[in-house]
Amino acid sequence: MTHQIARRKILASCGGTLLNAASPHAAGAQGKFRLASFSADITPPVGTPVLNGVRSRSVADPLFAKGLVLLGTAEPIVVVALDWCEIRNESYERWRSVLAKAAGTTRERVLVSCVHQHDAPYVDIGAQQLLKAHRVDGGLCDPKSNEEALRNVARALRSSLSGARGITHIGCGEGKVGQVASNRRYVTAAGGISFGRTSAARDAAIRSKPIGTVDPMLKTISFWAEDQPVAAVHCFATHPMSYYGKGDLSADFPGIARARRQKDFPSVAQVYLSGCAGDIMAGAFNDGDPKNRALLANRLYEGMVAAWEATKKHPLESVRFRCGSMKFSPRQTPGFSLDEMKKQLAGPSEPFRVKYQAALGLSWRKRLDSGHLIDVPSVDFGAAHLVLMPAEAFVQYQLWAQQMRPDAFVMVPAYGECAPGYIPTAESAAEGYDDHYCWVAFPDCERVMRGALEAALARRG
């Protein structure tokens, strides 16, 4: 579909006249709220560790932080998506605190989410300090480049505030994304349950299994100055990797799709968030061939275009913010007790992978044992509702959230505080889910997550 056709269709669907950025009507839009957008390059130096301690060897394409600041509420609200794998524990709190200061708001009102590309930084300064204290060869993250990236994002955010634009309307639209998302879970030839379908499934028999439970709809919340679009926030539930693991830094197929939308509408800030995708991969449609990156990007892009074409505008009359909290119980299955993780980290013969996982587990337990609660921030725009969930939540949580509020347009990005790791459902646990990259007690985690969602999405009088 050409850009010109897309422009004509959005005019029809929104019942307005698209004005250029210089239009006096658009520039003078009067409303209760203003919106600032910012972007910053957060590509680390070559040689920086990424997921699993792999050292980056090249920059395939740059990594960005893309964000928005909503002004006109009691205090500003910040939403920012990072082309990084994860940020955890004290590192996550520092990102929120520094950006809160830059925006002139409180930490609770800063929603930081990682897109979760694997060839990208993975940050937990506490775990890195544990590895260093035990003289473990290999690194988890680079504190220096993390701080440099954080300063760059804070600077970009602060500078954007002077250019905030008045907004009058919010748009809601969704479009189907085909041949991108598939569930990890599949039934084996022997009739058992496996959660082993990965982002790049090289076994054709595994790729051919039914896609399972997914959310095929990409959702877009847009902000408008009368008939002039100002920003678009897209959210889709899938792991964002095509090929990975060699250390070639990349925003992968979501970055390509986002950049293409930005080129379509240069004056409209484009933000992409990953939904609840702990168990969602491209594995049914991807064997790891590098050419598939462009194919997956095009399918995601088409979903963005479809969501844009389906957009319906609503006056933005009120914005309500709520920040709930949740507390998980720690995982205590064999290998996950405090004593066992300490022995794994200190063991002279343990491989790096084991020490790496132990450091992550101990960093998280330190936070849990100190009484740390995970924030669950939610923003109610009236016509749309955005709730940020932690870590690698399974897609069912996103689907449940939508069922809780059938009267609203509900967007549920995840990968906020990433310390818990995978957050499965009770049904997955009953079927034998037992991944090592999970530090919360299951099946009890479902009760915690559903309770948090119900509180975040409760109707208000």
Domain ranges of the chain: 3-183+213-327+371-456
Q: What pLDDT, on a 0 to 100 scale, did the predictor assign at position 460?
A: 76
Distance between CA 427 and CA 433 in Å, rounded?
9
pLDDT at 138: 86
Note the residue count of the chain.
Answer: 461
Task: Please report, in tens digits, the pLDDT of each residue of the chain (461 residues total).
Answer: 444 444 434 433 333 322 232 232 233 356 799 999 999 999 999 999 999 999 999 999 999 999 999 999 999 999 999 999 999 999 999 999 999 999 999 999 999 999 999 999 999 999 999 999 999 988 999 999 999 999 999 999 999 999 999 999 999 999 999 999 999 999 999 999 999 999 999 999 999 999 999 999 999 999 999 999 999 999 999 999 999 999 999 999 999 999 999 999 999 999 999 999 999 999 999 999 999 999 999 999 999 999 999 999 999 999 999 999 999 999 999 999 999 999 999 999 999 999 999 999 999 999 999 999 999 999 999 999 999 999 999 999 999 999 999 999 999 999 999 999 999 999 999 999 999 999 999 999 999 999 999 999 998 76
Q: What's the number of CA atoms in the CB half-sphere (13 Å) around residue 33?
A: 27
What pairing do the DSSP bridges indicate for beta strands 228-236 and 217-225?
A: antiparallel
Give φ, ψ of 97 to 5 degrees. Answer: -65, -45
Strands 280-281 and 182-183, sheet pairing: antiparallel
Look at residue 63 in the predicted model and tell me its pLDDT: 98
What residues are paired with 79 via a beta bridge? 68, 111
3-state DSSP assignment of residue 416: coil
Q: Among 120, 157, 121, which residue's Cα sits nearest to residue 40?
A: 157
Quote the distance between the C-alpha of residue 169 and its chain's center.
25
What is the Cα 83 distance to its own chain's centre?
A: 9
CA distances to 96, 184, 202, 247 from 243, rounded to whole Å, are: 30, 17, 11, 11
Tokens of 216: 């095929």
Query: According to DSSP H, which parts of 245-351 are helical?
Result: 252-264, 292-309, 338-346
pTM score:
0.93
CA neighbours within 13 Å on the CB side: how many for 100? Answer: 15
Find out whether the peptide bond into 266 is cis, omega within 30 degrees of 0.
no
CA gap 358, 344 in Å, rounded: 6
- Judge whether 454 and 315 are in contact, CB under 8 Å: no
Alpha-carbon torsion angle 11, 15, 19, 24, nearest 10: 180
Are 281 and 238 spatial neighbours (Cβ–Cβ below 8 Å)?
yes
Q: What are phi and psi of 25, to 5 degrees?
A: -65, -45
H or E element, residue 315: strand 312-315
Contacts for 104 with CB less than 8 Å, ≥ 6 apart: 75, 76, 161
pLDDT at 137: 87
Distance CA 49, CA 132 (A): 14
- Other CB atoms within a 10 A radius of the CB of residue 274 amount to 23
